[in-house]
Structures are given as structure tokens and as C-alpha cells.
Structure 1
Amino acid sequence: MSGNPFEPTPSTDGAETVALSPLPGIHARAESDTLTQEQIKRTYAWYAPIYDQLFGAVYAHGRRRMAAALRTLAPQRVLEVGVGTGLTLNCYPATSSIVGIDLSEPMLARARRRATRLGLTDVDLRIMDGESTPFPDASFDCVTVPYVLSATPEPARLVRELRRVCRPGGNIVILNHFSGSRFWWLLERAAQPLSSKVGFRSDFHFEEHVARHDWKILSVESANPFGLSRLVVIENV
């Protein structure tokens, strides 16, 4: 086990306008922070028409930092878990072949339109559960997980699958919110009871979900406003 106590260093898609109903259950009090696939599908179907407006600019710095890391790694074959509306598709080197997967068909439909608009030809977008994929062992040089680890039903199961499909010596790149920033502490606590309704866990710890695993953490850096997220580059061992 690595036991590395890393700390971070100090749109539109051209789609039609859609009238939205209230986010399902947003006013209900959740009994726990558990997430299910059906909750995630319902929530992100609701988010899809407005996801880029809600999260595009807020998470843009993290996507730029991920792009810089990927240029250095220069992977040939990449799996992106949770490709969403495709906001990260232009992060990858032109020489990389990309497979992007997501649970949400409405989100993925927007990713397909974005890939077409960007003229991306070596991109394969599929509906799929990241916790259980049909890919053979060691299929990819790099697996990226942008803003997904805290938005999956079983994070530990997702980690096992990432490691299985990434070749030994390849890289896993995690971009995610982790608890600990003083600036976001109050908001994390306020959002925690609603995690099953908003589609992600606000109370999510780096030590439990990243540092405890027996992989090699190469770097950790802060990303997004006021340390909202961390970019973690890992060597799969």
C-alpha cells in the first residue's frame, strides 16, 4: 500500500432549448448518501440540457490541467469514464484514440454532437456502466475519470475496474472534488443530505478513495476555484 498522504499545492453545444421540470426529489430529504444507477440516470437526464451552463465554466480550469497532464503522458489508447456531454473531448492529444462511456443517454447524445462539431474522428462513445465494462484486461494506456469518482454508486468497485482495464504501467487520471477545503466545508455539509438527489457525494475523502490503494501516485494538484477539485495522476501497478 502506498500510504501517500498527498495534499494539493497551494456552452453551449448547439442543442435545442428544453423546458425543465424541477430536479426530481430535490426538496426531499435523503436518508443517506447512497447512489443508485437509476438515480444517476434520472438526475443526469435532467441535467443534460443545462449541464454545460451549470458546470462548464466552473470546472474549466480542471479540464485545462487534465489536458496538460495528458499532453505529457501522450497515451495512445484512452478510456474516459463518465464522458457526459463531451466537455473533455478536446483535452486529448490528437494522436490518442478515445473511448468514452457514460450511463446517461441524454448526456451522451450531446457528447456525440460535440464530437461531430469538433471534427473528432477517432472517438467511440458508448452507453456503459463504468463499474462493470466488457473490455479485456489491460485494454487502455490511460483511463481518465473526470468528476465521476464521487458520482458512482460504488467508488471502490469503479477503482477495481479502472485498474483492470488499464495496462500495468499505464496511467489513471482522476479529476474530482475531495473534502477538506475550508472554503467549501459549509457547502459540503449542506449538500450532503441531498447527494442521492443531486447525483454526487459532497462529503468525499481523498485518503479513503485514492491514497489507501496500492497504486503509485505520481502527482496531486489543486484545480478549479478555491481548491474545489484535485487532479491526481497515478501509475497503475
Structure 2
Amino acid sequence: MTDTAGKYDRFSGFYDSFEALIERRAFSKYRKRALSLAKGKVLEIGVGTGKNLPYYPEDVEVTGIDFSRGMLEKAERRRRELGLKNVKLMLMDAQNLEFGDNTFDTVVSTFVFCTVPDPMKGLKEAYRVLKPGGRAIFLEHMKSESRLLNIPLYLMDPVMRALTGTSMVRETQRNIERAGFKIERVENLFFDIVRLIIARKP
């Protein structure tokens, strides 16, 4: 287990409460928008406590992975409560996906690549398991292009790294491109700090 996974195991008991206000005010509508775009056989990287599960279309087949047992236990409870039979949850590291090449029609990550210890390794794995022509949906927070907006992010960064292993200042959009994805559309949802990025595997 990585140190980051251990932090999320310890954090899992009150993770949803910690994010309840921002989830209710903003993140839930962002998730609904992002997940409406998922099609076919879907891999969700970093399923966490299963916050995305209510928003998937009924006709998709979802495999959700996470590196924290504690978070997966919460997600499994949510899956059962929602009565979802098209969702499978697995303990797995995003940096070492246990799937063959070109397996999924859609890859989803929501607020994940701020936390993956080696984001480029994780993104390259996501690229590998996505079918050619497949869609990648990234709902992520990241470093802004504005120096002014970055001031609070840099102030928050050491606290969030210590608490959850989360970086507030990663250049995730650039990392997505470096991993080989072709970005089709970017929507700035909260300034340019929270972005919905739709990409394809050529």
C-alpha cells in the first residue's frame, strides 16, 4: 500500500462529510454533466466513495477502481443502496491497471489526477486501456493560468498534501496531452481551476 492509499483509508470514514458543502453546492452538478457523456464499457479511475455512481447512464457497464480499501467499502455500500447491477468495484492502483490494452470505450476520472502519486504513469495507463477512438472524461481541479488565482492554491497545497496527498497545483491538462490524448473540448467550471476536459485516444 502506498502512503497516499493509507491516508485515504484513514480519511474514508469522514471523507463525504468533509466535502459535503462543496459537493452539494458545486461538485454534484459538475459530476452530472461529466457522467452524462459516458458510453459503453466504462472504467472509472479513483472511484472513491462512489459519488459518481448515481449519475451514470443506465445503459453503461462500469468498472470502478481505487487503491484504498476504505474508500471502496463506502463505494460498495453506495452501489448496493442504489441497486446498481451494472457496476463492478475493484481494488487497483491507477498507475498499474490490471486490464488489457484497448479494453474500455470510456475512461472517467473526477478529481483524481491531483492525487495519483505519478500522474503521468496513471494517465499513460488510462490511455493504454482505452480503445482507439474511445473517449476520456476528466473532471479535475488544477493549477490556473492566472498567477493571482494560484496564490490560494499554493497556500493550500502543503496542507492538502499532508492530509490527503492531493496537489492543488498540478498542470493536469498539459499532462493529459503529454500522455497522448487528443483534447476535443475544455469547459472551465470554476474559473479555470476546475475543468471538464473531453479527450480521445486517436
TM-score, normalising length from structure 1? 0.76
1:138-181 Cα deviation digits (max 9, x unpaired): 11110101111110111110111001111010111111111115
Equivalence for 1:6:
none
Q: Alpha-carbon deviation of 1:74?
A: 4.7
Q: What is the SS of the residue equivalent to 2:198? A: strand
Equivalence for 2:68:
104
Letter in 1 for 2:199: I
Q: Alpha-carbon deviation of 1:56?
A: 3.7
Q: Alpha-carbon deviation of 1:82?
A: 0.4
Equivalence for 1:159:
123
Q: Percent identity?
A: 31
Q: Alpha-carbon deviation of 1:223?
A: 2.6
Residue pairs, 1:121-132, within 5 angstroms? 121-132=85-96
Q: Alpha-carbon deviation of 1:194?
A: 4.1
Larger relative strand fraction: 2
Unmatched runs of 5 consecutive residues or more in structure 2: none
1:135/1:213 CA distance change after superposition, 3 Å: closer
Equivalence for 1:39:
3
1:63/1:95 CA distance change after superposition, 3 Å: same
Q: Distance in 1 between matches of 2:16 and 2:74?
A: 10
Residue pairs, 1:1-237, within 5 angstroms? 38-59=2-23, 61-71=26-36, 73-180=37-144, 184-198=149-163, 199-206=165-172, 208-224=174-190, 227-237=192-202
Count of residue pairs the alignment pairs up: 199
Q: Distance in 2 between matches of 1:105 and 1:43?
A: 11
Q: What is the SS of the residue equivalent to 1:133? A: coil
Q: What is the SS of the residue equivalent to 1:41? A: helix
Q: Distance in 2 between matches of 1:45 and 1:160?
A: 25
Q: Alpha-carbon deviation of 1:39?
A: 1.8
Q: Alpha-carbon deviation of 1:47?
A: 1.7
Q: Alpha-carbon deviation of 1:183?
A: 6.5
Larger radius of gyration: 1
Q: Distance in 1 between matches of 2:90 and 2:38?
A: 23
Unmatched runs of 5 consecutive residues or more in structure 1: 1-36
TM-score, normalising length from structure 2? 0.88
Q: Alpha-carbon deviation of 1:196?
A: 3.8
Q: Distance in 1 between matches of 2:200 and 2:20?
A: 28
Residues 178, 229 of structure 1: 8 Å contact kept? yes
Residues 39, 196 of structure 1: 8 Å contact kept? no
Q: Alpha-carbon deviation of 1:40?
A: 1.0
